[in-house]
Structure 1
């Protein structure tokens, strides 16, 4: 038992990342640092604007603020460690650090899948059941929904993290990834991993496949309702409102499905790393841009808030 515990509880892990391509590492260090700053600025702006402008005190922006906060947590759980590893020859992460990173990464990622589903449901009620919208989406319900989203998002990953770190690991502790991700850690296990791989597949269905199906069903109902409208202008307005959310869903779910839901014999570590780089670094940066560039309310709110600040400075 002592030998097994020593194997499964190493001092730390070596995150190989892109160490086989040193020149690429230097380029990635610069690019990822820029993306991280943009992510923090963009998502913080959306949270502040949604909080400060009374006109944006609606369910849609309440959920959007939650999404922005999740994106900040998502990137912060990974990027600082990644930048440290890219900046020098030290590629290590402590055992506890790896556990924390895996759990936060999985928890925040799962929570975001559920949140995007609830946001699609919010759009469905607003467009297909407008008379019931204020009754269903009242402030108390929003707080309860938020609590359910966050709690349910972190329960499954807790089980996954415990099972992953119970595995006896190979003595080299070299992880073929730039972060502590479940498939990469499972790959260095020194035992048969059929059970945990099955559990990961079930978790992927619960947190990725089912939410995506529900989102598509919601937007199928929205499309049917929208196409029945007589006003072409109204149809385009609704498509514009839903378009931002659909773009975010596609950018987030697409790479995750490619990484977590694919036949085992097609699992290639290099391809997986670049896909993971996309949904951990690029997508959280694009989300606030998509919502602000395509949303007149957010742009108008930014102008009002910046205008009022300039006005107060002049006085």
Structure 2
């Protein structure tokens, strides 16, 4: 964007409390606070809230919370009795802190945008991944896009449409608990194909690795894993580096893991986010970026 980062002092007190002080005037400015609420999620979320509050009290004209990875997004509904809908709660507290707008990347579900009582611009990271896949010059006739679960079919279908209308396959699974998944069967044909698995995030990698195992059993020639958010909770690294994937392609919505492995490719969304921020600032269309 050709701009310098705003100066801000963030530190921790001895008791763990967070201190934030802006080091320059933001009075009358459009402020864009970039803060993914990735692990440690609670620390990063609280830091974001205090930064928003500091900007509001310093008379910023507009405050946009730029959240490349929106933590708690998976808690978007009640799946059992007496549960919280934490995604809605987090949306409420970001709004109450003083944000005027949220700019988020690849939310886990579309309904999360409706949890905010302020404007939300949804950034799709797929163009970055699609450009990279195009550079690999894989024959379109060899491609099949795979959704690792039924819930991700719409995402995978949109991805396949951009890849010369590649065919679609679906891994049908049944979940037996949090962070535990069991693959059941495959809907679609992957025999002799280059399978591109698409998901919004990889957490423990249980879903996507079991899906990849099934794809190999069904005759897939190569399997690629693509996602926007590399959460990589243990034992994700061990699973992903086992050799089952030709390549694991992620973006840097979450800072890249310290432990890299040969198959890992991390793509930058800096240009995409920069263009989106400029358009928000200039009151231009954001959705046209992703057409």
TM-score, scaled relative to structure 2: 0.26
More strand by share: 2
TM-score, scaled relative to structure 1: 0.25
Max Rg structure: 1
More helix by share: 1
